[in-house]
């Protein structure tokens, strides 16, 4: 008999509320013969304030014994900027080698977009997750003086770039349009730019059916608002991916519906799935958060574990729910979760 051994990290703010709905939908969609075991972890601001810990070696060991991780959101204004980001979120991505950061963007019918004319949007960003300016390389000298110098080093390796570029080509090959766009800034960041561009072109030769192009990151932001339909799959660096996926979420229905996966494709470590949004302390505890992004992250999780039919059922339920939602009064977090649970079970 099959089983899913899931680590659950509700985290801070609305993280608690949206994860509860994600689990509700997950339980509803799984066939009877799949045994779901969940273990909750208390990472985030409260644990940090209580113990000073963000993520210990023992925590990593405990997390490692799971098939996947579902995360709500981590972050609170009471914690200095960077502490939980570097000490928990990024530490986990690096420790578990989550080098494929997958962020799909699809504008569903009836869903509000800030763009005029309700354009067609259906693309996936494959963001590198373990290199670039996110490595924590760099430092500060003469801190706090008028002679302070602070550096940030973007580290890019052939090994790291090739594996994520290859992953993106495989994903592009599997999609109807079979198109892959490299987003970088190779005219200014020429060292990293050459590495990315050369590897992209080399791997492209192995995928003759995939159409490719290249766009500078600054120009990519223009296309994302003037012609988002031109994108099918995008592969890009860690920082550029961070920036353009927030913009992508904004134009394709908002961060209330943007899902993401921090994936270790070889499954040496559990992959982690989380909504793109943060902990939104301003609306926490009020039942106002939209759990849809978390529910869609559960679909990515299921797909990663091989439960494609169940993932499809969630996607279809969300599409139906969003389409019907248009123009109706707002529902609470749990009302949306309940509606989705009913749909996926039915």
Ligand X SMILES: CC(C)[C@H](C(=O)O)[C@@H](O)C(=O)O
Annotated catalytic residue within 242, 307, 315, 321: 242
287-298: burial string, b at 16+ Cβ within 10 Å, e else: eebbbbbbbbbb
Distance from first CA to last CA of the chain, Å, rounded?
A: 23
Binders of its own copies among residues 154 to 173 (CB under 8 A) are 154-159, 162
Which residue among the candidates 24, 91, 106, 185 is catalytic per the annotation?
185
Both tokens of 21, joined, read: 């709905």
Quick check: 320 binds its own copies (CB under 8 A)? no
Select from 67, 85, 122, 338 the one that contacts its own copies (CB under 8 A): 85
Total residues found in the chain within this entry: 346
Exactly one of 42, 218, 227, 308 is catalytic; name it: 218
Q: Which does 251 bind (CB under 5 to 8 A by kind): ligand X, its own copies, none?
A: its own copies
> 21-57 burial string, b = 16+ CB within 10 Å, else e?
bbbbbbebbbeeeeeeeeeebebbbebbeeeeebbee
Is residue 280 at the binding interface for ligand X, with CB under 6 A as the rule? no
Determine whether 185 is an active site residue: yes
Work out whether the CA dihedral 115, 169, 277, 84 comes out positive or negative: negative
For ligand X, the binding residue among 37, 218, 227, 335 (CB under 6 A) is 218
Q: Does 81 bind ligand X (CB under 6 A)?
A: no
Q: Is 185 in the site for its own copies (CB under 8 A)?
A: yes
Distance CA 197, CA 175 (A): 22
Interaction of residue 101 with its own copies, rule CB under 8 A:
no
Is 218 tagged catalytic?
yes
Q: Which two tokens stand for residue 319?
A: 């599409």
3-class DSSP state of 130: coil
Residue ranges that bind its own copies, judged by CB under 8 A: 81-82, 85-86, 90, 113-117, 133-134, 136-140, 142-159, 162, 185-195, 197-198, 217-219, 221-222, 224-226, 239, 242-247, 249-251, 254-255
Residues with catalytic roles: 134, 185, 218, 242, 246
């Amino acid at each position: 008999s099959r089983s899913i051994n899931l680590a659950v990290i509700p985290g801070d703010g609305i993280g608690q509320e949206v994860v509860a709905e994600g689990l509700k939908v997950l339980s509803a969609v799984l066939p009877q013969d799949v045994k779901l075991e969940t273990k909750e972890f208390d990472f985030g601001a409260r644990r940090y304030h209580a113990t000073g810990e963000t993520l210990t070696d023992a925590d990593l060991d405990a997390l490692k014994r799971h098939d996947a991780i579902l995360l709500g959101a981590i972050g609170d204004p009471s914690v200095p900027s960077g502490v939980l980001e570097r000490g928990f979120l990024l530490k986990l991505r690096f420790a578990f080698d989550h080098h494929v950061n997958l962020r799909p963007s699809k504008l569903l019918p009836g869903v509000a977009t800030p763009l005029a004319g309700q354009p067609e949007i259906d693309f996936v960003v494959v963001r590198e997750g373990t290199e670039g300016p996110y490595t924590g390389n760099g430092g500060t000298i003469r801190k706090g003086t008028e002679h302070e110098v602070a550096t940030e080093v973007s580290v890019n390796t052939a090994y790291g770039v090739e594996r994520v570029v290859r992953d993106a080509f495989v994903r592009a090959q599997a999609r109807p349009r079979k198109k892959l766009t490299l987003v970088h800034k190779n005219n200014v960041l020429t060292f990293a730019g050459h590495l990315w561009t050369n590897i992209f072109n080399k791997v492209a030769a192995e995928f003759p059916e995939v159409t490719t192009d290249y766009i500078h990151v600054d120009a990519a932001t223009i296309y994302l608002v003037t012609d988002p339909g031109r994108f099918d799959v995008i592969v890009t660096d860690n920082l550029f991916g961070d920036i353009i996926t927030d913009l992508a979420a904004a134009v394709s229905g908002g961060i209330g519906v943007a899902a993401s996966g921090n994936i270790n494709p070889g499954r040496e470590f559990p992959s982690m799935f989380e909504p793109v949004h943060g902990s939104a302390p301003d609306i926490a505890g009020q039942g106002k958060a939209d759990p849809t992004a978390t529910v869609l992250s559960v679909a990515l999780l299921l797909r990663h574990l091989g439960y494609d039919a169940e993932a499809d059922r969630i996607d279809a339920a969300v599409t139906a729910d969003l389409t019907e939602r248009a123009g109706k009064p707002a529902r609470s977090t749990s009302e949306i979760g309940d509606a989705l649970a009913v749909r996926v079970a039915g």
